[in-house]
Structure 1
């Protein structure tokens, strides 16, 4: 089993050995056992509070194995509307409930939640279930790596 301990910033010519596909929740775990896409068992041993992002590169203690993190497809609710001001209102209502959301110029994305879905539909937003990577905002006080 490989123990992954470092985050290496992406740069130029690198050779990635393995891919670690993780859900948004998995990417918040600093100490956990996972299996790579290729079937290799790895153990994360990262500083507490580390939040991995899609495309991050990890290496083992010997710096001989390089692993790329990828955002795994997962069930999400995607919220859309015809204009950006309305989308800001949806972000306000979701933020007021302290749920993790992914924010883009054209949609909001969150984990499936029937109560929040009904609330958003009641406010006339389009809400659909999708299988997509989920990359929620980390908040103002979270630090990457």
Structure 2
């Protein structure tokens, strides 16, 4: 089994040609939020992944194996609920209200300008439909937000407040 203990967010620092040639591994959200898991890459190699506790692997990240080989992570399609606003009976603001209510329930949400994605939950689906939102089941990659207190955004970029004018006030 090939040991993997390093993650490069979005493959930072690697040449695009290297990323194109890299083996891949398709992982769903349940696996990508674990720091230790086994997987098989596109070359059929068994991988034993041991990342620092709390590490979340995102689609586009690159795993580095003990032999120096790189494996590009693909967010595997999985069952999700896609939530959109109803053009006839609502407005795009309804999505903002839905995100607020889902956030209050600590639900993992993928936020997009025109839709939300959550993992399947029939109780939440009914609540959202009662809010006049359209809820459809789909098979798609799921990349939920990292949360307000995560040290990196969903693309692996660190955000210090000093760099963009927030240095002189409290949050």
Instruction: Name the structure 1 match of 2:32.
Output: 27
Determine which structure has the larger strand proportion and give its number.
1
Instruction: Name the structure 2 match of 1:5.
Output: 5
Instruction: Name the structure 2 match of 1:60.
Output: 65
Q: CA separation in 1, counterparts of 2:151 and 2:77?
A: 24
Q: Structure 1 residue 115: deviation in Å?
A: 0.2
Determine which structure has the larger helix proportion and give its number.
2
Q: CA separation in 1, counterparts of 2:98 and 2:22?
A: 41
Looking at CA atoms only, which structure, 1 or 2, has the larger radius of gyration?
Answer: 2
Q: Structure 1 residue 85: deviation in Å?
A: 1.1
Q: Structure 1 residue 103: deviation in Å?
A: 0.3
Q: How does 1:92-107 map to 2 (within 5 A)?
A: 92-107=100-115
Cα pair 1:29 1:51 within 8 Å, conserved: yes
Q: CA separation in 2, counterparts of 1:43 and 1:136?
A: 24
Instruction: String of CA shifts for 1:100-133, please: whole Å, max 9, x gaps.
Output: 0100000000000000000001111000000000
Instruction: Name the structure 1 match of 2:144.
Output: 136
What secondary structure is seen at the aligned counterpart in 2 of 1:121?
helix
Cα pair 1:50 1:143 within 8 Å, conserved: no
TM-score, normalised on structure 2?
A: 0.79
Q: Structure 1 residue 143: deviation in Å?
A: 3.6
TM-score, normalised on structure 1?
A: 0.92
Q: CA separation in 1, counterparts of 2:64 and 2:75?
A: 18
Q: Structure 1 residue 86: deviation in Å?
A: 1.1
Q: CA separation in 2, counterparts of 1:53 and 1:32?
A: 14
Q: Structure 1 residue 52: deviation in Å?
A: 0.7
